[in-house]
Amino acid sequence: MKNSQLKKRLELAIAISESIGQALLKFRESKGLIKTKFEKGGQLKSPIDVAAESWIRALLESNYPSESFLSEESYEKERKFDASSGRFWIIDALDGTRSFHEGYNGFCVQIAFIENKKLKLAVVHAPALRTTYWAVAGKGAFMKKGKQGKRIFCNKNRFDGKLIYTDSHLAKGIVKEILNKLNITKFLEMGSFGIKICKVAEGKANIFLKPVEFKIWDTAPGDLILREAGGKLTLWSGEEIDYSGGKIYFKNLLATNSFLHKQVLSQIKYFHKNN
């Protein structure tokens, strides 16, 4: 696909994500309007998730009617997806639903575009943080807070014993053991997968390590942004995530800058061998 075509898609994805972000903030301010929410498979769900996804899909589908769309709410309802066209969009309209409903800033809107099994563009918009991250394959990663934009890198500083890990809660179990081995004690609390990965890409955190099942829409946008910022996102085996659309669920995530990645994988391997 030509650069001009990707640029047009990126501009549309940013405009859509930022517009739905404003709507999400308005709904959250009007607390009495959102009364229906429920737990499903350990996740908090609400009509806001469905409404936001419908908005994004309608706008993208009107511009690209012949392409496929993989989105959280639709997939969890239908349990099927056809990626045979080779081009499809990945949508997570409200990543961090619990943060959204409980008044925290760690929620975001995520959009990615896949062509020939490769991530081509990505957008992560965090409305409450007034921040948008984006990337196009081979063109670098960027962010803007308010109206000021800049290119971001995660590898400016090598390991210095003062690294920061990010998650929604303090480390425990194997994660705590590995962080202790690496002498990483500083903690940045964030809710959604998307923002946590982008914080590593931005250099505000250095590691996101989580032994949990996740879905392709949780990581696709952040993966490209982190990669273009010079970092790595893999499974604990060291394998990259398959974005062909043939597999939706994965387990055990590692997002770091490139200096730290091999070191963490070695610690994971050592822990599994000795426990």
Reduce the secondary structure of 252-274 to three states and give it as a string: EEEEEEHHHHHHHHHHHHHHHHC
Over residues 82-141, the pLDDT tens digits come to: 877 789 999 999 998 888 888 888 999 999 999 999 999 999 999 999 999 999 999 999
Q: Does residue 82 fall inside a structural domain? A: yes
pLDDT averaged over every residue in the chain: 88
CATH number at residue 129: 3.30.540.10
Could you tell me the maximum CA-CA distance found in the chain, to the nearest angstrom? 54
Q: Does residue 156 fall inside a structural domain? A: no
- In this prediction, residue 32 has a pLDDT band, given cuts at 50, 70 and 90, of low
Over residues 169-186, the pLDDT tens digits come to: 999 999 999 999 888 878
Residue 275 clears pLDDT 80, i.e. is over it: no
Is residue 7 within 8 A of residue 110, CB to CB? The reply is no
Q: What is the pLDDT of residue 185?
A: 79
pTM higher than 0.85, yes or no? yes
Helix (H, G, I), strand (E, B) or coil at 24: helix
Rounded distance between C-alpha atoms, residue 92 and residue 111, angstroms: 6
pLDDT over 90 percentage in the chain:
63
Mean pLDDT of 210-232: 96
Is residue 213 within 8 A of residue 251, CB to CB? The reply is yes
Are 198 and 255 contained in the same domain? yes
Q: Does residue 112 fall inside a structural domain? A: yes
Are 108 and 222 contained in the same domain? no
Kind of pairing between the strands at 38-40 and 43-45? antiparallel
Are 244 and 202 contained in the same domain? yes
Residue 76 clears pLDDT 70, i.e. is over it: yes
Residue numbers of the domain that contains 10: 3-151
Helix (H, G, I), strand (E, B) or coil at 31: helix
Dihedral, CA of residue 157, residue 162, residue 167 and residue 172, to nearest 10:
140
Q: What is the pLDDT of residue 124?
A: 98
Are 233 and 262 contained in the same domain? yes
Rounded distance between C-alpha atoms, residue 179 and residue 264, angstroms: 9
